[in-house]
């Protein structure tokens, strides 16, 4: 049973890392500064970062040790989430990108329906 759970966790982390890489590419194509770095070829950890505007940064870390979402403005931590909450916030960011007009160079924050993201603008 535990061997199966360990493998499922590794598969989950690998899937999350691949999705972070894809999100970074989409964000870069939309004109945002974004990156996703992995360690080694096994896809068992990643560091994802995106700049949403002047001094507004989101960092998402995933590894075997955990998952964290950290949002900063002016080098101060505004919000830190872990686990499922962090993944939900990442989904919210992905949804904002998905529904943002591709031809409009506006900031994600300016069009964000999210209370958390909008209050930080």
Q: Supply the pTM of this predicted model.
A: 0.81
Using one digit for the tens of pLDDT, what is the confidence trace for 25-64?
Answer: 999 999 999 999 998 888 999 999 999 988 999 999 999 8
Of residues 97 and 59, more confidence is placed in 59
Distance CA 67, CA 96 (A): 21
Distance CA 107, CA 40 (A): 33
Domain spans of the chain, in order of start:
2-119
Distance CA 48, CA 59 (A): 6
Using one digit for the tens of pLDDT, what is the confidence trace for 58-93?
Answer: 999 999 889 999 999 999 999 999 999 999 999 999
């Amino acid at each position: 049973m535990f061997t199966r759970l360990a493998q499922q966790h590794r598969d989950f982390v690998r899937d999350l890392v691949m999705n972070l890489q894809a999100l970074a590419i989409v964000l870069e194509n939309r004109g945002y500064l974004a990156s996703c770095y992995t360690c080694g070829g096994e896809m068992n950890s990643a560091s994802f970062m995106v700049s949403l505007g002047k001094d507004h940064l989101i960092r998402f870390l995933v590894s075997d040790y955990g998952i964290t979402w950290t949002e900063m403005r002016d080098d101060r931590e505004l919000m830190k989430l872990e686990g499922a909450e962090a993944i939900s916030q990442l989904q919210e960011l992905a949804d904002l990108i998905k529904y943002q007009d591709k031809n409009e160079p506006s900031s994600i924050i300016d069009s964000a329906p999210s209370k958390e993201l909008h209050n930080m603008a």
